[in-house]
Amino acid sequence: MTSPPPKPLRVRILDGQGGGRAVPAWDDVLRWTPKDGPLWLHVDADDEATSTWFLESSGLPETMREALVCSESRPRCHVSGDALLVVLRGVNLNPGADPEDMVALRMWISPRRVVSASRRPVMAVKDVFEALDSGSGPKAAGDLLTWLGWHLLERMGPALLDLDEKVDDLEERLDIERPGALQRELADLRRTIIALRRHLAPQREVLARLTTLQHPVLDAEHLAELVEHSERLTRHVENLEELRDRTTVAHDLLASRQAEDMNRRMLVVSLVAAIFLPLSLLTGLLGINVGGIPGAQSPLAFSVVCAIILGLGGLQFLALRRMNWL
């Protein structure tokens, strides 16, 4: 690293006791040596000037630099000598954002230096910085990976619980509200659940792979913690799969109710048409403009015809009831 960044970076030097010393000036970062303690830099990859500096002056291997600032990424891990490249995702808890619009946290981790990057604020990074400033944070480079992973998972919990409560509420309203009023809400829920699962399922594979690595950055304690992270993320993915299945059942029930309502309406229309069809035929015959119509000269003919129509309609109604069509 030979030139200052275009804007201040968030930098901490771990003291090995759970604390982190903030680096006030970039010159101090340039004078850093591994014996000073593990160094953690977090950069804003969404800033074009920062990305340009990072690609030119960070001192990381070229492929690692590009992976840390690329615009699109999926959860993955890659071993590069004595360093690890790990990309994880978390729910987007920034104001005005949708949780399923997930944020990516990219990390290059070596035994003495950690560089992380994100294009949007990641609350897990803020949590770990605060823990370091209070003296109760990670002590080594490998700890940063497990701490950041834990905080990403910790912040997923409330978002998934909120989804579960929304699905519960929707299921309770299925028999009360009209299907049309629930369909849009159900569609939004299904899209959110599908998007979250699409991002978290690959991350489960990443954590599972990390638990099997033999690497200088990770000791036995780190691997044990990563096993717990993997199990916890697996439960999150399984919960999302359960929610997806429940919303599928709810969708099927709504579709069935809509089909029943439509069939009921069509039955009513068909029955009305069936009742009035012979009556229309009778009145049509009596209304043709030709001679010889019975009762044309009788003052009682209209009353007689009305009585015949009412009687015929009543007989049709009784016949339909007897056939259980009504």
- The 10s digit of each residue's pLDDT in 31-53 is 788 888 898 988 888 777 777 77
What angle do the packed helices 141-173 and 123-133 form, to 10 degrees?
Answer: 130
Q: Are 171 and 246 in contact (CB under 8 A)?
A: yes
- Structure letter (DSSP) for residue 84: E
* Other beta carbons less than 10 A from residue 52's beta carbon: 13
Helix (H) or strand (E) holding 270: helix 220-286
Give the residue with greater pLDDT, 20 vs 286. Answer: 20
What angle do the packed helices 141-173 and 220-286 form, to 10 degrees?
Answer: 20
Q: What is the mean pLDDT of residues 250-277?
A: 81
For the chain, domains (ranges, CATH) are 10-257 (3.30.460.20)
CA–CA dist 323, 267 (Å, integer): 14
- The pLDDT > 90 percentage for the chain reads 22
49-63, 99-113, 260-274 — most confident range: 99-113
Q: What is the pLDDT, as a whole number, of residue 62?
A: 76
Q: Are 106 and 124 in contact (CB under 8 A)?
A: no
**Helix-then-strand count for the chain, H and E:** 8, 7
CA–CA dist 43, 59 (Å, integer): 14
CA–CA dist 150, 156 (Å, integer): 10
Q: Are 229 and 153 in contact (CB under 8 A)?
A: yes
Q: What is the pLDDT, as a whole number, of residue 49?
A: 72
Nearest to 104 by CA among 241, 202, 234: 202
CA–CA dist 272, 65 (Å, integer): 74
User: What residues contact residue 170 under an 8 Å CB cut-off, 6+ apart?
Assistant: 182, 185, 186, 189, 247, 250
**101 CB-side CA count, 13 A:** 9
Q: How far separated are the first and last CA of the chain, in Å rounded?
A: 84
Cα R_g (the chain), whole angstroms = 35
- What is the band of 228 on the pLDDT scale with cuts at 50, 70, 90? very high
Q: What is the pLDDT, as a whole number, of residue 235?
A: 92
Q: Are 53 and 41 in contact (CB under 8 A)?
A: no
Average predicted confidence (pLDDT) for the chain: 83
Q: What is the pLDDT, as a whole number, of residue 319?
A: 78
Query: CA angle, corner 4, sides to 3 and 5, nearest 5?
Result: 120
CA–CA dist 194, 182 (Å, integer): 18
Q: How many residues in total does the chain contain?
A: 326
Q: What is the pLDDT, as a whole number, of residue 4?
A: 56
Q: What is the pLDDT, as a whole number, of residue 2?
A: 53
Burial of 224 (0-12, 13-18, 19+ CB in 10 A): exposed
Given a cut of 80, is residue 237 above it in pLDDT? Answer: yes
Give pTM, 2 decimals. Answer: 0.76
What SS3 state is found at 175?
A: coil
Given a cut of 70, is residue 174 above it in pLDDT? Answer: yes
Look at the block and give the residue holding tokens 């790990």. Answer: 86
Q: What is the pLDDT, as a whole number, of residue 155?
A: 87
